[in-house]
């Protein structure tokens, strides 16, 4: 079946530090890959996505590249801010039989300190 | 503005009582979903519905029930059979790969 594994947190960084959150996946075929962000007490928001190999998704200074050879979709940001403190979820969709179900990783909590 | 509304934001219930969580969307999405979120466990799918009057069990459906009588509404009932119901519940709707999430309901059973 489909699965997503992401690095366990929590991750604590100082403001302006470089961020990497690792994500690897297991799926047959060619899934679409996503990063969602959840701010405290809220639902999830789409951060970025990539739908085919070598695609790079980017948004708000965050980037992730779809690497089929390593089945990875690592999230990076060059300089984090306190406002980036949130829980980040890696996820995939493997369309099949008309269904677009999301499979999530367990989430990584990021805390950025001034 | 289109979106998903979950209510209430916080809910307290006594052990042994059934409780229904509301989820309404005005996005005209066919598909709707319920997820349960526990610390360190990510999001787990409880039930989903791809069309009105039809729904399927997700990974952790035991102790829960749903209905989908209208396109806009997908209420979730947490029954007394659910052994550990205290959690954060998220509703979502989608068209193709585009998901919209509600802001969640935190259920505490005492």
**Which residues partner with B48 through β-bridges?**
B33, B56
Q: Which of B42, B51, B57, B60 to probe by mutation at the A interface, max A CB count within 10 Å?
A: B42
Contact A107 B103 (CB under 8 A): no
Percent of chain B predicted with pLDDT > 70: 99
Q: Give the DSSP H/E element, type plus range, for residue A38.
A: strand A32-38
B2: pLDDT strictly greater than 90: no
Instruction: Please say whether the beta carbons of B91 and B101 come within 8 A.
Output: yes
Q: Residue A8: what pLDDT?
A: 85
Q: How confident is the model at residue B39 (pLDDT cuts 50, 70, 90)?
A: confident
Contact A101 B45 (CB under 8 A): yes
Mean pLDDT of B47-72: 96
- pLDDT, tens digit, 9 for 90 and up, residues B96-107: 888 999 999 999
Q: Residue B1: what pLDDT?
A: 66
Using a CB-CB cut-off of 8 Å, the residues of chain A touching B99 are 44, 46, 102
Chain A residue nearest residue B10, CA to CA = A41
Residue partners of B19: CB distance under 8 A and separation at least 6 = B11, B13, B77, B78, B85, B107
Q: How confident is the model at residue A98 (pLDDT cuts 50, 70, 90)?
A: low
Structure token digits, residue A19: 């961020």
d(Cα A111, Cα A1) in Å, to the nearest integer? 32
DSSP assignment of chain B equals ---EEEE-SEEEE-TT--EEEEEEE-S--SEEEEEEEETTTEEEEEEEEEETTEEEE-TT-TTEEE--SBTTB--EEE-TT-S---EEEEEEEEETTEEEE---EEEEE-
Task: Using alpha carbons, list the distances in angstroms from residue B86 to A46, B12, B34, B38.
Answer: 26, 9, 15, 9
Q: How far is B37 from chain A (nearest CA, A)?
A: 9
Q: Residue A41: what pLDDT?
A: 84
A96: pLDDT strictly greater than 80: no
Query: Across the interface, which of A41, A100, A105 has its CB nearest the CB of B96?
Result: A100
Q: How far is B106 from chain A (nearest CA, A)?
A: 9
For residue A8, is it left (φ>0), alpha (ψ between -120 and 50) or beta? Answer: beta
Q: Residue A32: what pLDDT?
A: 94
A12: pLDDT strictly greater than 90: yes
């Amino acid at each position: 079946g489909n699965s997503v594994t992401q690095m366990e947190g929590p991750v604590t960084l100082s403001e302006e530090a470089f961020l990497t959150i690792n994500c690897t996946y297991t799926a047959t075929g060619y899934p679409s890959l996503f990063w969602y962000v959840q701010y405290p007490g809220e639902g999830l928001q789409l951060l970025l996505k990539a739908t085919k190999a070598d695609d790079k998704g980017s948004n708000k200074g965050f980037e992730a590249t779809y690497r089929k050879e390593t089945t990875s979709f690592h999230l990076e940001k060059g300089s984090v801010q306190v406002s980036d403190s949130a829980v980040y979820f890696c996820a995939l969709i493997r369309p099949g039989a008309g269904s677009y179900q999301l499979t999530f990783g367990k989430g990584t909590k990021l805390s950025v300190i001034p | 503005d289109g979106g998903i509304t979950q209510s209430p934001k916080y809910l307290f219930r006594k052990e042994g009582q059934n409780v229904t969580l509301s989820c309404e969307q005005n996005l005209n999405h066919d598909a709707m979903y319920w997820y349960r979120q526990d610390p360190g466990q990510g999001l787990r799918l409880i039930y989903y519905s791809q069309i009105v009057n039809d729904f399927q069990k997700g990974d952790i459906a035991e102790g829960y029930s749903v209905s989908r009588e209208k396109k806009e509404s997908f209420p979730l009932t947490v029954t007394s059979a659910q052994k550990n119901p205290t959690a954060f519940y998220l509703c979502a709707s989608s068209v193709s790969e585009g998901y919209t999430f509600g802001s969640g309901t935190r259920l505490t059973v005492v």
